Structure 1
Amino acid sequence: MKSRTGTKRVTMMDVAKAAGCSQATVSVVLNNVTDIKISPELRSRVLDAARSLGYGLASPIRRAGLEDLRGSCIGFVVDQLATTPEAVNAIEGARHASWENDVTILVAQTQGRAEHERKAVARLLQAGAQGIVYMSVFTRRVSLDPALQDLPVPLVLLNCYTGDDRFPSVVPDEVTGGCLATASLIKKGHRRIGTIVGESFMEAAQDRLAGYREALAQAGIPYDGRLVVEGNWTPTSGFEATRKLLALAEPPTAIFCQNDKMAMGCFNAIGEAGLSIPADLSVVGYDDDELARHLRPQLTTLELPHRPMGAWAIEQLAKKPRPGRHRVHKVGCTLIERASTTRRKPE
């Protein structure tokens, strides 16, 4: 979508920045979702920002092209539904983007098994699906089964991509997310910042660490490998990694945890050491898991953009894309500032 001047593609992130809120809030407002409470003042602010930027001209903002899918259904194929909230959030974003046009989302879970994928796609096509969204819970490059490569309907990849870029695909901008998390601590005066990374074979862990290093480099802070400790996304690994960081001769004054579950373990280790958050250490998480709002103090974290990613996938299907060269579309994460960070104490 272009602005009224026609010079710049206006995105949901642009609206979020202008309104001073998250992308998820913008999605809720612009899709006229009524079962999520948004204050009248914030709703008005989002709509004003959208109008001023040219992102739609009415409330709710209507998505051009979806009328072609009216009364049809779309297949949503995902490897896992129950293990994490990402798939549910993406499906919800897809629903928000399509419900006004009477588009039904049919969901199939395959557990990543090729035979299940083939059967799911065949049955979705039999049910009349006019497009397929293929999602991986973990961000990664995928090798698609031949049954998915030559479909009679458009295919869009969500949270994954192929090596040949044949299909439109969307993933979170994890490098920028890791950079944003780390930069938020640098802006508060922290220069010795530890990070607890996820399993190193995963792209999300690699990219978030790359963002951490990028933020340090931009601030002229030397990278110190002793401040990087590997976890495995669990609270226990966050607890153990934090103990290692606190045992250093020069412990960090802030810790960036690559997910909120490890941040929960980090909180416990800091408390066990007789220290407090954020007076003694600032902590930033990642994911904006529900637990982030239940920790005390509440956790500053990065919100993964799976809802807007789901909406983007539906918009792409409406365009009826053909196989060809498609650049991977990256959606930014939003920093959610809460009470677990503060300015560094002067020495």
Structure 2
Amino acid sequence: MTDIAKAAGCSQAAVSFVLNETPGTRISQQTRDRVLEAARMLGYVAPAYAPASVVSAYSGLDGVIGFAVDQLATSPEAIVAIEGARQASWNTGNVLLVAQTLSDPVMEPRAIKALTSGGISALIYMTIYTREVELPAYIYELNIPTVLLNCYTTDYAFPAVVPSEIAGGQSSTRHLVAHGHHRIATITGEIWMQAAQDRLTGYRRALATADIPFDPELVIEGDWSASAGYSATMRLLALKEPPTAIFCQNDRTAIGCYEALKDAGLRIPHDMSVVGYDDEEISRHLVPPLTTSVLPHHAMGQWAIEHLDPASRPGKRRYPIAKLECSLVKRHSVAAPPTTAPRVVHDVQSTV
């Protein structure tokens, strides 16, 4: 919808109102026509809401679906996933009821009990950080279908969906290789996190596939922040042989990377190519706009609703973990490497 808003010259809210046919909004017919034409040109298909007379694939649900998530405020991913689930549930006439649990050992079971006592007919259990979870016994004892979103259990007792992070890291790095880069650095997140580990694995696989030797000095651990992106980029520029491209493992790191490169007098992408990850809103407005990968939380929310099987119960079968693609969004931050090494205009010792 952000892309449609840009093409139509209006706000994202206006796009939402038009595509969802929200009653009571005073949007001119001219604006409506522009939005619909932009949506058509971009290949966007608005959700087709099922008539009440149509029996849904999961019509065994009784109208209210619970959504338990550990964190709502730390990042936009939870809200995006909830919106995907909300759209899919509304398409089938179901309401979504959301609770934040903070993974608190006392309050989480109380929150889930409040959802179940409120009459939910299914549960989606989400974590902000992709990870393996050990679910407490009371989740297994729920007599309703349950889906895990952005997490999974080792016993595969529940349907689960996560981003395909290894493939995402591989695609990001391969994009730089395809432009002729051979000295490619990466700035990771906190390496104890599975997302950072998987994106690094994808990076290494792409290098290996292209017969590019792995160089550990080109891997800098960050903490997902812009400050870490800035200091890591300065460290990379201070190397005897700096990279010609940097894969930042999230967009906030890329913001810091942009600032460091500009402070060093380097142009993006003429002197240094940069790729991000997450496709946050800011990535569209950086100069130049940032090539990045989409975290598919919206699609994951929809997937979770679509895989609530009224007949399923924990322990009846093993469910494979579904992995959704982190598709690459190509913008203007990547080009062929410079023919000569870029000249840094001032000292680039590591700094924050």
User: Normalised by the size of structure 1, how large is the TM-score?
Assistant: 0.83
Matches of 1:60 and 1:45, distance apart in 2: 17
With over 3 angstroms needed to count, the CA separation of the structure-2 counterparts of 1:186 and 1:39, relative to structure 1, is: farther
Give the count of matched residue pairs: 308
Structure 1 position 39, deviation (Å): 4.9
> Do 1:168 and 1:321's aligned partners in 2 also have CA atoms closer than 8 Å?
no
- Tell whether 2:34 aligns with 1:43: no
Structure 1 position 198, deviation (Å): 0.6
Matches of 2:249 and 2:137, distance apart in 1: 35
Give 1:303-318 correspondences, 5 Å limit: 303-318=294-309
- Tell whether 2:331 aligns with 1:334: no
Structure 1 position 319, deviation (Å): 4.8
**Structure 1 counterpart of 2:48:** 60
> Do 1:114 and 1:145's aligned partners in 2 also have CA atoms closer than 8 Å?
no
Matches of 1:255 and 1:345, distance apart in 2: 14
- Tell whether 2:166 aligns with 1:178: no
**Structure 2 counterpart of 1:92:** 83
Structure 1 position 344, deviation (Å): 2.2
**Structure 2 counterpart of 1:128:** 119
**Structure 2 counterpart of 1:161:** 152
Alignment deviations for residues 220-269 of structure 1 (CA, whole Å, 9 cap, x no partner): 11111111000001111110100011111111111000001110000111
**Structure 2 counterpart of 1:116:** 107
Q: Where does structure 1 differ by over 6 angstroms across 4 or more consecutive aligned residues? A: none
Give 1:269-284 correspondences, 5 Å limit: 269-284=260-275
**Structure 2 counterpart of 1:103:** 94
Matches of 1:163 and 1:126, distance apart in 2: 28
Matches of 1:344 and 1:108, distance apart in 2: 48
- Tell whether 2:136 aligns with 1:145: yes
Q: Name the Cα RMSD after superposition.
A: 2.3
Alignment deviations for residues 254-303 of structure 1 (CA, whole Å, 9 cap, x no partner): 10000011100001110111111111101000001122122111111101
- Matched AA of 2:333: S
Q: Percent identity?
A: 49
**Structure 2 counterpart of 1:321:** 312
Unmatched segments (≥5 aa) in structure 2: 1-14, 23-31, 341-352
Matches of 1:61 and 1:136, distance apart in 2: 28
- Matched AA of 2:48: P
Give 3-state SS (helix, strand or coil) of 1:317's partner. Answer: coil
- Matched AA of 2:188: V
Structure 1 position 318, deviation (Å): 4.2
Q: Which residue, 320, 326, 336 being the options, matches 1:343?
A: 336
> Do 1:189 and 1:343's aligned partners in 2 also have CA atoms closer than 8 Å?
yes
Matches of 1:229 and 1:38, distance apart in 2: 43
Structure 1 position 45, deviation (Å): 6.7
**Structure 2 counterpart of 1:210:** 201
- Matched AA of 2:77: E
> Do 1:65 and 1:319's aligned partners in 2 also have CA atoms closer than 8 Å?
no
Matches of 2:139 and 2:291, distance apart in 1: 40
Matches of 1:123 and 1:249, distance apart in 2: 59
Matches of 1:319 and 1:273, distance apart in 2: 58
Matches of 2:222 and 2:21, distance apart in 1: 39
- Matched AA of 1:60: A
Larger radius of gyration: 2
> Do 2:47 and 2:87's aligned partners in 1 also have CA atoms closer than 8 Å?
no
Give 3-state SS (helix, strand or coil) of 1:114's partner. Answer: coil
With over 3 angstroms needed to count, the CA separation of the structure-2 counterparts of 1:291 and 1:46, relative to structure 1, is: closer
Matches of 1:68 and 1:317, distance apart in 2: 10
Matches of 2:226 and 2:199, distance apart in 1: 18
Structure 1 position 149, deviation (Å): 1.5
